[in-house]
Amino acid sequence: MSDILSRILETKRHEIMAAQRLISSGEILKEALQANSNSNTKVRGFAQALIGSVKSNKPGIIAEIKKASPS
């Protein structure tokens, strides 16, 4: 592996470890489940949305919407 990739991986490992000290993955999961069960939050299942599109003979679109691009 190139030296730059090794440095990127090492940096990411440290970032993840620091983030995990702030909040556990279990707490993140708990918050996500609470948000999903909130009646004010509309969440559609990814697979169900695509299957529904196919069944209704409509195109299934996979898209990512970002606030800004890093480039």
* CA pair distance 24, 18, nearest whole angstrom: 11
Average the pLDDT over 18-40 and give the result: 83
Percentage of the chain modeled with pLDDT above 70:
89
Confidence at residue 41, expressed as pLDDT on a 0 to 100 scale = 63
pTM of the model: 0.39
C-alpha distance from residue 21 to each of 18, 35, 41, 48 (Å): 5, 22, 28, 35
Q: What is the mean pLDDT of the chain?
A: 83
Residue ranges per structural domain of the chain: 3-55
Q: Are the beta carbons of 50 and 60 closer than 8 angstroms?
A: yes
* CA pair distance 60, 50, nearest whole angstrom: 5
Going by pLDDT thresholds of 50, 70 and 90, the confidence category of residue 15 is very high
